[in-house]
Amino acid sequence: MKKLVIASRESRLALWQAEHVKARLEALYPELTVEILGMTTQGDQILDKTLSKIGGKGLFVKELETALADGRADLAVHSIKDVPMTLPDGFALAAISEREDPRDAFVSNNYASLAELPAGSVVGTSSLRREAQLRALYPQLTVKPLRGNVQTRLAKLDNGDYDAIILAAAGLKRLELSERIRAELDPAESLPAAGQGALGIEIRADRADVAERLAPLNHPDTAACVAAERSLARELGGSCQVPLGAYATLADRALTLRALVAHPDGSVVLRAEAIAPIEYADALGRVVAKKLIDQGALPLIAAVLAEGTR
Ligand SMILES: NCc1[nH]cc(CCC(=O)O)c1CC(=O)O
């Protein structure tokens, strides 16, 4: 092997992430040439609808998988948050990188925190997960859809279309936009999405040669947390058309997984958590999913999906 080609979306954040992986591979393997193949995905082109209405996560991933399938690229770098819980046959995750800040961030030009926003303030997010948690805690605020890449969203805030917006802290930090963060939302206030802040490196399942090169990029502690979060989300149908939060932390080789399923209007928020040894990440996800199911998560999810298609 002389060269590795990385498939990436072309947003600044995606390219930062691909460059980050490229730099790490070049440091590990000075003899290899590493190139980035930038691609536009369906998810990048459809900007006028909320993601949940157009079918969600897979839209950012499919074109990159096609490049892996036909050999134009050897690996694809994704925000693992955007990767469907079950990969299509023939693909595999070769590495999960060390997690950046997993929290959601409050961004505003006029206010320092959610609590400071006067009643009726307009908060931008198109994430049903963020919307549900906002509405549950701050029913006096108005949630307005907000799409586009990180720069586009910040520009819409700066235009005055919103009083504040919620974004992943990880994206802002990677793009050196940390100064835009006015407050980090505690996970108790806004439980992050499964995988938020971590990168997933996808390959064709038959590329053992590439898997071997990528093994040092896997961060086992992050991979265990993300495995628990994704196991839970998979168990509940893995849809981003339903508000779903899943966040695992690790202390003394024990994983704590906290999760929630909610109605987008914030009227119902089901929560569950459990602790297990790090070796049992997948089982932990199933256990916490079961606790949510015992509280009625499945009929709630069915009702939210039915309302979404109306
Ligand atoms: N849904 C888009 C997306 N995918 C990954 C990130 C941020 C970085 C990450 O979570 O790794 C974002 C932006 C956001 O949610 O604000």
Q: Which domain holds residue 37?
A: 1-99+197-218
DSSP string, 22-62: HHHHHHH-TT-EEEEEEE--HHHH--SS-GGGGT-GGGGTH
> Hey, whose CA ends up nearest to atom 2 of ligand 1?
82
Q: Is the reported ipTM for this assembly greater than 0.85?
A: yes
Same domain (yes/no): 162, 14? no
CATH assignment of the domain containing 147: 3.40.190.10
Same domain (yes/no): 93, 203? yes
Closest ligand 1 atom to the C-alpha of 170?
8
Number of domains in the chain: 3
Q: What is the mean pLDDT of each run of 10 residues along the chain (310 residues)?
A: 96 96 98 96 63 61 94 97 95 98 98 97 96 98 94 96 98 98 98 98 98 98 98 91 96 97 97 98 98 97 88
Which pLDDT belongs to residue 42?
A: 73
Residues 6+ apart with CB under 8 A from 78: 17, 60, 61, 64, 199, 200, 201, 202
Same domain (yes/no): 16, 150? no
Q: Is residue 310 part of a domain?
A: yes
> Hey, whose CA ends up nearest to atom 5 of ligand 1?
79
Which pLDDT belongs to residue 188?
A: 96
Which pLDDT belongs to residue 47?
A: 55
Which pLDDT belongs to residue 53?
A: 53
Closest ligand 1 atom to the C-alpha of 198?
11
Same domain (yes/no): 167, 109? yes
Same domain (yes/no): 61, 24? yes
Type and span of the H or E element at 284? helix 281-294
Which pLDDT belongs to residue 59?
A: 77
Cα 90 to ligand 1 centroid, rounded to whole Å: 25
Same domain (yes/no): 156, 244? no
Q: Is residue 189 part of a domain?
A: no
Which pLDDT belongs to residue 239?
A: 78
